């Protein structure tokens, strides 16, 4: 035991500057991380989070339901990709909630979202493979960051909506479960217009249930 303690002391004496430097970096990282977290909470901005929400209209009422919500790092799996989409999300406006990514990058981000969503509907895919009765619909996914209206929080949002619905949104404003959902209605109208002009910003998927 004494030999082990002597070895530890010797290592510390030889490398104490490295240990002290590492501890300093950890302390600085903790300080700025805490500071950023407080600032994000004060502004209610959480660009490190991605929320996948299902948007649908039934009997003239708009329904918004969260499918999943995760840290961006757990979805996009690359620090550069996360930093890129975080920076792009801050550039959205009331007039355009779609996150402005490079044209060739949209598929990679959307496919990463699909990989997370797919497990929610895996049972339907297996049922179809077994030739069991399933319901099949085509959906669209688009990445947005809403900043208009009375938004409680601002974060990256992947909109999931039935393709047929987005292509033929009702002309009249639907009823809302909450007055704040009027922002989502404006976003959906933006998505409908963008899909006609820039379909590369959307990923079309087939969902079986």
Instruction: State pLDDT tens for residues 83-128.
Output: 999 999 999 998 999 999 999 999 999 999 999 999 888 899 899 9
Domain tally for the chain?
Answer: 2
Same domain, 200 and 178: yes
Could you give the percent of the chain with pLDDT greater than 90?
68
Residue, of 180 and 21, whose pLDDT is higher: 180
Could you give the percent of the chain with pLDDT greater than 70?
77
Token duo for residue 10:
């010797």
Q: What is the pLDDT of residue 43?
A: 44
Same domain, 35 and 52: no
- In whole angstroms, how large is the CA radius of gyration of the chain? 23
For the stretch 54-74, pLDDT in tens is 999 999 999 999 999 999 999
Same domain, 28 and 108: no
- Give the domain range for residue 32: 1-43
Q: Check whether 183 has a pLDDT greater than 80.
A: yes
Same domain, 94 and 158: yes
Residues shown for the chain = 209
- At residue 176 the predicted structure's pLDDT band, cuts being 50, 70 and 90, is very high
DSSP E strands in 24-132: the ranges are 45-58, 61-71
Residue 51 — φ and ψ, nearest 5°?
-115, 125
Same domain, 128 and 203: yes
Helix (H) or strand (E) holding 31: helix 2-43
Q: Check whether 1 has a pLDDT greater than 80.
A: no
Q: What is the pLDDT of residue 45?
A: 72
**pTM beyond 0.85, yes or no:** no
Same domain, 62 and 113: yes
Distances (CA, A) of 89 to 85, 101, 192, 193: 6, 9, 19, 19
Same domain, 87 and 11: no
Same domain, 110 and 199: yes
Strand partners, 138: 206
Same domain, 29 and 65: no
Strand partners, 56: 63
Same domain, 39 and 105: no
Same domain, 104 and 169: yes
Catalogue the long-range contacts made by 60-66 (C-beta closer than 8 Å, 24 or more residues apart): 60/170, 60/174, 60/175, 61/174, 61/175, 61/176, 61/177, 62/174, 62/175, 62/176, 62/177, 62/181, 62/184, 62/185, 63/177, 64/177, 64/181, 64/184
Query: What is the β-pairing status of strands 154-162 and 175-176?
Result: unpaired
Same domain, 31 and 63: no
């Amino acid at each position: 035991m004494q030999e082990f303690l002597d070895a530890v002391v010797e290592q510390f004496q030889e490398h104490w500057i490295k240990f002290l430097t590492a501890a300093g970096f950890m302390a600085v990282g903790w300080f700025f991380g805490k500071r950023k977290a407080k600032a994000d909470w004060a502004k209610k901005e959480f660009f490190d989070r991605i929320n996948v929400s299902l948007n649908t209209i039934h009997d003239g009422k708009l329904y918004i339901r969260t499918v999943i919500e995760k840290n961006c790092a757990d979805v996009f799996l690359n620090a550069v990709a996360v930093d890129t989409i975080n920076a792009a999300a801050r550039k959205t406006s009331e007039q355009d909630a779609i996150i402005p990514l490079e044209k060739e990058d949209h598929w990679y981000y959307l496919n990463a979202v699909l990989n997370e969503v797919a497990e929610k509907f895996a049972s339907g895919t297996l049922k179809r493979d077994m030739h069991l009765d399933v319901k099949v619909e085509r959906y669209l996914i688009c990445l947005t960051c809403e900043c208009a209206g009375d938004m409680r929080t601002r974060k990256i949002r992947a909109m999931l909506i039935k393709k047929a619905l987005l292509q033929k949104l009702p002309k009249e404003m639907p009823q809302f479960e909450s007055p704040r959902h009027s922002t989502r209605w404006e976003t959906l109208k933006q998505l409908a217009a963008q899909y006609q002009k820039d379909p590369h910003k959307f990923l079309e998927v087939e969902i079986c249930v």
